[in-house]
Structure 1
Amino acid sequence: MEELKTMILSDNETKVDLLNNEAIAKTIVSLITESKEQPISIGIHGDWGAGKSSILEMVVNEAEWVSLESKKKYSCIRFNGWKHQGFEDSKVALLSSIVSELEKKEKLSSKSEKTLKKLWKNINWMAVAKSAGKTALGVATGTAPLTLLSSTMDVLKSTAMTKEGIDKAIESIGGYLRDAKITEDTSSNKEFSEFQENFAELLEDASIEKLIVLIDDLDRCLPDVAINTLEAVRLFMFTKKTAFVIAADESMIRYAVKKHFPDATNENQFNAGEAFANKYLEKLIQVPFRIPALGEVESCIYIMLLMVGSVLSDENKNYIKLREEGLSRIRKPWNVKSFMVDDVKKILGSDYEKSSKEVLIATQICHLLAQNTDGNPRKIKRFINMLLLRYEIAKNRGFGDELELAILAKMMLAEYYAPDFYKTLPDHLDSEGKWDEVPEILNDIRTMSEGEEKNGTEEKERWYDWNWICKWLGTDPEIMDKDLRPYYYACKEKIDYFSGQTFRNDLSEIVDLLFRDKMIIVSRVEDLKNLTNQESDQVFGTVTQKIMEKGQFEVKPKGVDGLTILVQNRPELRKKLIEFIDFIPADKVGVWVLQGWDKAIPKDCDERNRLNQYFDKLKNNGTKVVKEALKKI
């Protein structure tokens, strides 16, 4: 096989738009700029993996571009709620993060530095108020947080217990209380009003037209953390020149609201539940954007772009053209068309050969993968990443040449979306790892698609889901006559699907049965029919090996009758029976070999020709007795 360059796709947020989500980012920034000084809150809602974080990245890009074009400063700050989950107070964490990031990003004047100090004092007060019950009682009773009184402790540790030392300690405590204003009016509303004034002054001094705070991963947080962060956002809704863009799964936020406010009731004193959660979100999020799930054809375009992007860089000019063409198609979902191989070949030009395998695989797996991932970009990307990773590992383990990437993808589709079938399939593979039921199934599919009725095709008892298998087998590549064992080993992370293939005790019993008299074997023919393909292969191989080891063929060896009855009930073993007969030395076999095969190898089957060829060999190389018997047949 040719060498394949494998590049694992990043699962992080990206600025490269493959889904036309840039349109949402542009709209969000337009709303922010048009809102002038008024505060605004915008929600980006979608399921896990829908692309919310990537849209936030695109908002940053668009805001930077608008800043350059308009000569106005639109400053973006990222806040990840999940990363700050360990903080005691989520509100304080958000406020601290915003002020800290502004301090890092912006070049502030000396006047702004003074305003910053005021803001940190405001935040310190809120932290103490939270820990000490929002009153000075915490300090009075000695319960103030030790971390916030570290300066006092440092003074106490560095001085002796003298009048002078005590005076210094009291002076330090008094300074702390004055800075944090514990002894003044402890109204949280008054304190936050001052924070807003100081914050507005800072934005003015820094010449910021609008501060855009991007909040991500709230739906990963514990309910209390998520709600406290949203409550902090609510406080900012009265602060000019601010915009909050909150990316979160609506259903998870609703759950957090109901969990945090379990006793919320309506005017009739009934639990408000879902209605309260909806109202909470409606009041907090002024403009909600819901990311639509990808349709099947849109998913197919996305899969093609991902697969080609696994070997061509984002900066590749032809890949950029392919992305642009893909986006132009996605923009018209009512008339969207999937990529055909010829389309991609024409657009990629000289780069097509580098990605021809990926293009073919994308074409083969896209519809089935799209149907089973609910149009979720992250599910699609993770499937492709696992496909590329497993192929790379197989190469490093030394059996990459045994795999075709397209068939590996097909087997992974079964593993992910038909797990019961996938786990059972190894029991139906023959000794060469092939699934010999495939031709019959494909024939049934063709028969049914042509609208014909064939011996109750639809009513056959099957061990797999017929509808799913029709779709799976109906997609390229074909797996007929393919050894599927390497693909199971490539996917073997938790379960060894072939670990049970050592010879079982109950199979040993079947082997012993086949060496007994015909009547006894016939009485247990159902046991032979109930064997899986793999088990019947094992039994057949074991019996023939025992017969060959004895090496006595003048009279019919014990076990031959058992083999013929087994093959009579398992026609897929006819080829193996012929191979066994052909191995019997022509110059040592007795006349028994000339009869008794009709039920196992009927005269109208293909294998009968091979049997006749063996008889012809006996005419030349057989014993004298066998040659004479052949003349009478």
Structure 2
Amino acid sequence: MSTTPAGIRNDEPASVDALDRDKIARALATAVKVCDTPLVVGVYGSWGTGKTSLMKLVQGELESETDFYTVWFDSWQHQFDENPAIGLLHTMVAQLGLAEKSGSQARELLTSVAGAFTDLTQWVQPLVDGSADLDQLRQRFLDERFKAREQQILLHKHLRDLLDKATERGAIRLAFFIDDLDRCLPEYILKTLEALKLFLNISGCVFVLGVDREALESTIRARYGDRGISEHYLDKIVQVPFALPPITKAAATRFVKSMLPEELVGVTDDIVAGLDPNPRQLKRFVNSFILNNELAKEIFEGPDYSPIVLVDLLIVQYRLPAFYKEIAESRQALIADRPDKTVAGVDQLSSVRRLVDLVARDPSALDGYIYLSEAISVRRIAFDVVVTEVGEFRIQLIKVLREVLGCTLTEARDLAESPPPIIIATAKTREEAEVLLARVLATGSTGEIR
């Protein structure tokens, strides 16, 4: 059986720090150890920036303490649970081994909490009854409100008892790490954030929430429409926001070099210079390059193959997909014989300049590399659409916003009048993003795909 090419990495979070974030992890862990409780810490970063890896490092720091327990909650795996709070508590009981430590007590408390939740959501009864007079309706309303209050008190009591069991009555602090929330369905995201409020009057608990803030705010905006709500909703829940800083060039270089086989480390600087400093993007690019390199060994003979040429073409495929299509169809796309050709506007990219020089010497030199890049591509799969400047036909843009976001006329108008950039769609396919961008541009506004 053939072996996997050296350097291929899966998409799981890193267990060892390769991005110089150990100092950040220690600082966050220290803050969690000494903070007042309850508290919610928000770790903000876009897709692939390493939120999960950083949270794992923080969790590792806390687990070395004798007076700290940690619970890891993967929201994405629980997004079809009816109630996020119950899913979170089930995970806590399982990961802390409470069922084994306390016999049936933990299970009974968990059942009580779940029952209280169910009763609380079902207490409201229809008040409109044609056969009832006004006094009867008033009395029914008061009765139902009393039942709701009873259930709230019972819920908090059971919840407090369960957490007392988990924290050994306050002797142990409990840190919940909630990950991948921004990958979930909008309704589940909102339910989870609302569920966190239940815990915010219970001491001894710290919640570390890893999210893409822009994507999450876009979800809230799509749900509520008003931009002001989306901007302040998260701030009312998160007391300590932390924006994950981009990785340095030096860290990116070490990261890429650590994934490359010995014979390919010479292209490290070219990869780092050609891509954004996003750890997941770098990892996927390197994986694709390594597989392409293995395939090249079977296709090319002797000295005809150059890894740097393959890297250059893959960078163009990733950074400039439309231009890459032109090159794939005709190598003449790399010959700047007319000022209106695409290559004239992108030749500042070093990878493009090297490909131009190569094709100028030998028009067929890229043929084998094109085959490789088509076989195992590094195309991006998720794109955001952003309005960068609102044009003179504001009404037409408002119409587009209403259709895309499903919001009211007032909400769309407020959004159009807010300062750019205005994110109007996230995680779209390239084709969907291009169609939506064309609609934005048709209104006289400017925008871009990110």
TM over 0.5: yes
Residues 573-609 of structure 1, C-alpha deviations (whole Å, 9 max, x = no match): xxxxxxxxxxxxxxxxxxxxxxxxxxxxxxxxxxxxx
For 2:287, the equivalent position in structure 1 comes to 385
For 2:101, the equivalent position in structure 1 comes to 108
Please state how far the C-alpha of 1:15 moved relative to its aligned partner: 2.5
Please point out which of 221, 227, 231 is paired with 2:184.
221
**Cα separation, 1, equivalents of 2:148 and 2:224:** 26
Amino acid at match of 1:235: L
- Structure 2 vs 1, CA of residues 251 and 398 (structure 1 numbering), >3 Å: closer, same or farther? same
**Cα separation, 1, equivalents of 2:290 and 2:210:** 30
Residues 122-169 of structure 1, C-alpha deviations (whole Å, 9 max, x = no match): 223313544xx23699xxxxxxxxxxxxxxxxxxxxxxxxxxxxxxxx
**Cα separation, 1, equivalents of 2:166 and 2:329:** 69
**Cα separation, 2, equivalents of 1:399 and 1:414:** 21
Matched, 1:420 2:420: no
Amino acid at match of 2:114: I
Please point out which of 348, 363, 381 is paired with 2:269.
363
Matched, 1:118 2:24: no
**Cα separation, 2, equivalents of 1:255 and 1:235:** 24
Matched, 1:461 2:339: yes
> Which secondary structure state, in structure 1, belongs to the residue aligned with residue 273 of structure 2?
helix
Amino acid at match of 2:39: I
Structure 1 contact 28–42 (Cα < 8 Å) conserved: no
**Cα separation, 2, equivalents of 1:477 and 1:62:** 50
Please state how far the C-alpha of 1:101 moved relative to its aligned partner: 2.7
For 2:26, the equivalent position in structure 1 comes to 26
Amino acid at match of 1:359: V
Please point out which of 492, 496, 500 is paired with 2:374.
492
Task: Tell which deviates more after alignment, 401-410 or 232-241.
Answer: 401-410
**Cα separation, 2, equivalents of 1:477 and 1:212:** 54
Structure 2 contact 116–155 (Cα < 8 Å) conserved: no
- Structure 2 vs 1, CA of residues 230 and 82 (structure 1 numbering), >3 Å: closer, same or farther? same
Task: Give the 4+ runs in structure 1 shifted more than 4 A.
Answer: 397-402, 426-430, 473-478
- Structure 2 vs 1, CA of residues 191 and 392 (structure 1 numbering), >3 Å: closer, same or farther? farther
**Cα separation, 2, equivalents of 1:251 and 1:421:** 29
Residues 89-112 of structure 1, C-alpha deviations (whole Å, 9 max, x = no match): 2333223323333336x86245xx
Please state how far the C-alpha of 1:30 moved relative to its aligned partner: 1.0
**Cα separation, 2, equivalents of 1:122 and 1:427:** 62
Q: Within 5 A, what are the aligned runs for 1:35-114?
A: 35=35, 38-65=37-64, 67=65, 72-103=66-97, 108-109=101-102, 113-114=104-105
Structure 1 contact 41–244 (Cα < 8 Å) conserved: yes
For 2:154, the equivalent position in structure 1 comes to 191
Residues 296-328 of structure 1, C-alpha deviations (whole Å, 9 max, x = no match): xx23641443233333xxxxxxxxxxxxxxxxx
User: Which structure 1 residue ranges, 5 or more long, are not aligned?
Assistant: 138-183, 263-272, 312-354, 442-458, 496-633
Please point out which of 341, 359, 376 is paired with 2:278.
376
> Which secondary structure state, in structure 1, belongs to the residue aligned with residue 172 of structure 2?
strand
- Structure 2 vs 1, CA of residues 248 and 204 (structure 1 numbering), >3 Å: closer, same or farther? closer
Residues 68-93 of structure 1, C-alpha deviations (whole Å, 9 max, x = no match): xxxx3311111111111112223332
Structure 1 contact 6–392 (Cα < 8 Å) conserved: no
Structure 1 contact 46–291 (Cα < 8 Å) conserved: yes
Residues 402-428 of structure 1, C-alpha deviations (whole Å, 9 max, x = no match): 532221111111222223332223555
Please state how far the C-alpha of 1:44 moved relative to its aligned partner: 0.3
- Structure 2 vs 1, CA of residues 494 and 20 (structure 1 numbering), >3 Å: closer, same or farther? closer
- Structure 2 vs 1, CA of residues 124 and 391 (structure 1 numbering), >3 Å: closer, same or farther? farther
Residues 461-496 of structure 1, C-alpha deviations (whole Å, 9 max, x = no match): 35233242243344599634472111011122499x
Q: Tell me the TM-score normalized by structure 2.
A: 0.69
Structure 1 contact 391–400 (Cα < 8 Å) conserved: no
Please state how far the C-alpha of 1:29 moved relative to its aligned partner: 1.3
Structure 1 contact 200–240 (Cα < 8 Å) conserved: no
Structure 1 contact 76–213 (Cα < 8 Å) conserved: yes
**Cα separation, 1, equivalents of 2:306 and 2:14:** 30
Q: Within 5 A, what are the aligned runs for 1:208-607?
A: 209-262=172-225, 273-294=226-247, 298-299=248-249, 301-311=251-261, 355=262, 357-369=263-275, 373=276, 375-395=277-297, 398-399=299-300, 403-426=305-328, 428-429=330-331, 437=335, 461=339, 463-471=341-349, 472-474=351-353, 479=358, 480-481=361-362, 483-493=365-375
- State the number of aligned residues: 351
> Which secondary structure state, in structure 2, belongs to the residue aligned with residue 33 of structure 1?
helix
**Cα separation, 2, equivalents of 1:50 and 1:199:** 35
Structure 1 contact 308–358 (Cα < 8 Å) conserved: no
Amino acid at match of 2:75: G
Structure 2 contact 179–210 (Cα < 8 Å) conserved: yes
Amino acid at match of 2:245: P
> Which secondary structure state, in structure 2, belongs to the residue aligned with residue 492 of structure 1?
helix
**Cα separation, 1, equivalents of 2:352 and 2:148:** 72
- Structure 2 vs 1, CA of residues 261 and 95 (structure 1 numbering), >3 Å: closer, same or farther? farther
For 1:594, the equivalent position in structure 2 comes to none
Please state how far the C-alpha of 1:259 moved relative to its aligned partner: 3.7
**Cα separation, 2, equivalents of 1:114 and 1:461:** 77
Amino acid at match of 1:99: V
Highest RCO, 1 vs 2 (Cα 8 Å, sep ≥ 6): 2
> Which secondary structure state, in structure 2, belongs to the residue aligned with residue 282 of structure 1?
helix
**Cα separation, 1, equivalents of 2:260 and 2:190:** 39
Residues 313-364 of structure 1, C-alpha deviations (whole Å, 9 max, x = no match): xxxxxxxxxxxxxxxxxxxxxxxxxxxxxxxxxxxxxxxxxx2x43310123
- Structure 2 vs 1, CA of residues 243 and 387 (structure 1 numbering), >3 Å: closer, same or farther? same
**Cα separation, 2, equivalents of 1:78 and 1:493:** 38
**Cα separation, 2, equivalents of 1:87 and 1:400:** 55
- Structure 2 vs 1, CA of residues 436 and 467 (structure 1 numbering), >3 Å: closer, same or farther? closer
- Structure 2 vs 1, CA of residues 483 and 56 (structure 1 numbering), >3 Å: closer, same or farther? same
> Which secondary structure state, in structure 2, belongs to the residue aligned with residue 246 of structure 1?
strand
> Which secondary structure state, in structure 1, belongs to the residue aligned with residue 89 of structure 2?
helix
State the percentage of identical aligned residues.
23
Relative to its length, the structure with more strand (as a share) is: 2
Residues 147-204 of structure 1, C-alpha deviations (whole Å, 9 max, x = no match): xxxxxxxxxxxxxxxxxxxxxxxxxxxxxxxxxxxxx955332122212331242034
Task: Tell which deviates more after alignment, 478-487 or 405-414.
Answer: 478-487
Structure 1 contact 42–246 (Cα < 8 Å) conserved: yes
Q: Tell me the TM-score normalized by structure 1.
A: 0.50
Structure 2 contact 120–152 (Cα < 8 Å) conserved: no
Structure 2 contact 44–51 (Cα < 8 Å) conserved: yes
Q: Within 5 A, what are the aligned runs for 1:158-177?
A: none
Please state how far the C-alpha of 1:378 moved relative to its aligned partner: 1.6
**Cα separation, 2, equivalents of 1:18 and 1:225:** 33
Please state how far the C-alpha of 1:61 moved relative to its aligned partner: 1.1
Please state how far the C-alpha of 1:49 moved relative to its aligned partner: 0.8
For 2:444, the equivalent position in structure 1 comes to none
User: Which structure 2 residue ranges, 5 or more long, are not aligned?
Assistant: 127-145, 378-450
